[in-house]
Amino acid sequence: MRRNHKALHLISRLYMVAVLVFLYAPILVMMVLSFNEGKSRGNFTGFSLKWYGELFQNAEIMQALSNTLIIAVISSLVATVVGTFAAYGISQMNRRSQGLVMNISYLPVINPDIVTGVSLMLLFIFMRMNLGFATMLISHIVFNIPYVILSVMPRIKQMDRHLLEAAMDLGLPPLRAFLKVVLPDIMPGVISGMIMAFTLSIDDFVISFFTTSGVQNLSIYIYSSARRGIEPTVYAIMTLMFVTVVSLLLLINRKSLGRTVAKRTRI
Amino acid sequence: MSNQDALIEIRDVCKLFTDDGDEKQAVDHISLTIRRHEFVTLLGPSGCGKTTTLRMIAGFETPTSGAIYIDGKDVSAVPPYKRKVNTVFQRYALFPHLNVADNIAFGLTVKKLPKDVIAQKVDAMLRMVGLQGYNKRKVTSLSGGEQQRVAIARALVNEPEVLLLDEPLGALDLKKRKEMQIELKNMQQKLGITFVYVTHDQEEALTMSDTVVVMRGGTIQQVGTPQDIYNEPRNRFVADFIGESNIIDGIMPEDERVVIGDVSLDCVDKGFAPNEPVDVVIRPEDIYIVTQSDKGQFKGTVESVVFKGVHYEMQVRDTAGFLWLIQDTSMFAEGMEVGLIVRPEDIHIMRKSDDPNAAVYREEEAL
């Protein structure tokens, strides 16, 4: 019995390791190659930061990076403001409309990116808008809003639904009451929604690709440079992107983990 | 205004809610005057419109028709943050990100009072509700009863003309609730503030109020002192809702005489049409049990006995088949043949036509 148990334990361990290897080996290889001295993909000829150096010399990459960051910052901020108010509004609806509106808001999340991307492109063209920085920004705001709503909603549901009324009762008009009383209470949901929106914006390729022309973000740059043959500088950017996204994710998880721990200790 | 003492006047107010196309008449043409310094309780079962009425006084709901006056001014269109009323919410609605002192100080901070004045008033409030030294505590770490006290302090510190309380003791256990009932009543008398209190607990209403307003289905059934409401319920619903009652069909052949089945009894009511069908209401504690069944006005058999602490509660089925609920300090064993006696002044006669919902009850009972 006991030996059986041990063997089972070992197998489950190995299984987990195998899964992790499959998941992370490719990224690890890319990260290692980004520090490779030579251009070869086959053998590691020596440690060097030269690709990172080149990366920061490359004006095209730097332009794409700054586009990515500006769009990520603006779109996540705007989506957070819009999404937070939207979530509060939805929470005040009656049950049936609430379900309906939540499903509609949820649709862009499950809709394939390519459908969202192409349809946004068609809409912009239909409205005679020139595809470029502005259209890409608008698209990012649009696809980020539902994620913010989904992240804020559970916090609102946990909240005492009379909080806003209590603040109004004590003399604050509705908007100030919301900012002073409701917002601090749902803040953790708002912050994690904003971080999620930020990472999704940095991540996105498909929707960006269809809703801009001429203006590049990092993912579009990588895609087009890949057709010319991938330079190790690309490994360097991707390593940086990976590290950024992972650290943001860890931040979200630590926030929500901290919350559950706090809850448990309270009980 | 004609009545100098009137603080709140509700005049012919209706409230209609539309939810998914269904219209619901939450409040149906009610009129009510609340006087200064009065402790008024809106009492009724859930869905009777009591909370909606309270929310209209607070300003969270606008009347569909009719008007509400506070201090002689029509406030129907005044938003809650501009009214001189404060509310204690059912589940307290304390601000979880603020500590006890900041919660209580909230209204004063909004009014931009000087810091030292605020601190003084907050301390005075904490003393009044028995939470001295709780200033820096987190509200989430407090017990239900303590949160309740903070909620009351947060409202009262603004010195409102009216304090509105929406089932404030509903979440407390029985013992805490009794304590708070007495404390609230004391605070109200000490501060001289008008309290409008919403509850479905008839005992709470009778204990605390100067005036009880019994509501049902969006309408007011009866307004009166606790004694009036208990001793002279105006209709079958009030009699049934306030305390326990035996309600039985009868006929008034003449003044001061009522016939129940084939038993004819003296009573003190008059002014009914000859042979008018009436509801006869008799409180369980007003019925006397005698062991010689022949001596009673009604004869019956004890069907069940329950010990309730102060008294025993017995059900006695009379020869006509009616099941009487009786409270007595002595016990009469199950299966015993007994007689029942009621004094004329304990018999309350109600006109069936006095009751706008009479048809509704009969329907409910038939179900």
- Residue contact B91–A160, C-beta within 8 A: yes
pLDDT of residue B271: 84
In the A/B pair of chains, how many CB contacts fall below 8 A?
A: 64
Q: Which tens digits make up the pLDDT trace of A198-233?
A: 999 998 999 999 999 889 998 899 888 888 777 888
Of B58, B92, B97, the CB nearest to A169: B58
pLDDT of residue B20: 66
Nearest CA in chain A to B87: A169
Q: Which tens digits make up the pLDDT trace of B17-62?
A: 887 667 888 999 999 999 999 999 999 999 899 999 999 999 999 9
- Residue contact A170–B91, C-beta within 8 A: no
* Confidence check: pLDDT of B13 > 90: yes
pLDDT of residue B5: 81
A25 at B interface, C-beta within 8 A: no
φ and ψ at residue B313, rounded to 5 degrees: -110, 120
Q: In the structure encoding, which two tokens stand for residue B84, read together?
A: 């001189």
Question: What's the CA gap between B57 and B68, in Å, rounded?
Answer: 7
* Confidence check: pLDDT of B362 > 90: no
CA distance B93 to chain A (A): 5
CA distance B365 to chain A (A): 32
The class of domain B6-231 in CATH terms is: alpha beta
| Averaged pLDDT score across all residues of chain B | 89
Under the banding of pLDDT at 50, 70 and 90, the label for residue A46 is: confident
* Confidence check: pLDDT of B306 > 50: yes
Cα-based distances in Å from A260 to A160, A192, A267, B7, B15: 19, 14, 11, 49, 43
Q: Which tens digits make up the pLDDT trace of A51-97?
A: 898 888 889 889 999 999 999 999 999 999 999 999 999 998 888 88
pLDDT of residue B353: 58
The size of chain A, in residues, is 267
Nearest CA in chain A to B160: A170
Q: Is B49 left (phi over 0), alpha (psi -120 to 50) or beta?
A: left
CA distance B106 to chain A (A): 7
Under the banding of pLDDT at 50, 70 and 90, the label for residue A133 is: very high
* Confidence check: pLDDT of B367 > 70: no
Q: Which tens digits make up the pLDDT trace of A140-185?
A: 999 999 999 999 999 999 998 899 999 999 999 999 999 999 999 9
**Domain limits, chain B:** 6-231, 245-366
Report, as an integer, the average pLDDT of B219-236. Answer: 91
* Confidence check: pLDDT of B364 > 60: no
Q: Percentage of chain B surpassing pLDDT 70? A: 94
pLDDT of residue A55: 87
pLDDT of residue A255: 67
Report, as an integer, the average pLDDT of B172-195. Answer: 90
Nearest CA in chain A to B159: A170
* Confidence check: pLDDT of B359 > 50: no
**Domain limits, chain A:** 60-266
**For residues B258 and B340, is the Cβ–Cβ distance under 8 A?**
no
Q: In the structure encoding, which two tokens stand for residue B181, read together?
A: 């009932």
Q: Which tens digits make up the pLDDT trace of A88-120?
A: 999 988 888 888 998 888 888 888 999 999 999
Q: Which tens digits make up the pLDDT trace of B132-174?
A: 999 999 999 999 889 999 999 999 999 999 999 999 988 788 8
* Confidence check: pLDDT of B3 > 70: no
ipTM score of the complex? 0.81
Q: Which amino acid is at B267?
A: C
- Residue contact B87–A168, C-beta within 8 A: no
**What residues of chain A lie within 8 A of the CB of B155, using their CB?**
169
Please provide the distance, in angstroms rounded to a whole number, between the alpha carbons at the two ends of chain B.
Answer: 47
The class of domain A60-266 in CATH terms is: mainly alpha
**For residues B284 and B325, is the Cβ–Cβ distance under 8 A?**
yes
* Confidence check: pLDDT of A33 > 70: yes
Q: Which of residues 79-98 of B touch A (CB under 8 A)?
A: 79-81, 85-87, 89-97
φ and ψ at residue A93, rounded to 5 degrees: -75, 165
Q: Which amino acid is at A211?
A: T
φ and ψ at residue B349, rounded to 5 degrees: -105, 130
Give Rg (Cα) of chain A: 23
The class of domain B245-366 in CATH terms is: mainly beta
Nearest in space to B300 (alpha carbons), one of B244, B341, B257: B341
A169 at B interface, C-beta within 8 A: yes
DSSP single-letter state for residue B29 = E
Q: Which of residues 98-117 of B touch A (CB under 8 A)?
A: 106-107, 110-111
DSSP single-letter state for residue B273 = P
Question: What's the CA gap between B83 and B71, in Å, rounded?
Answer: 11
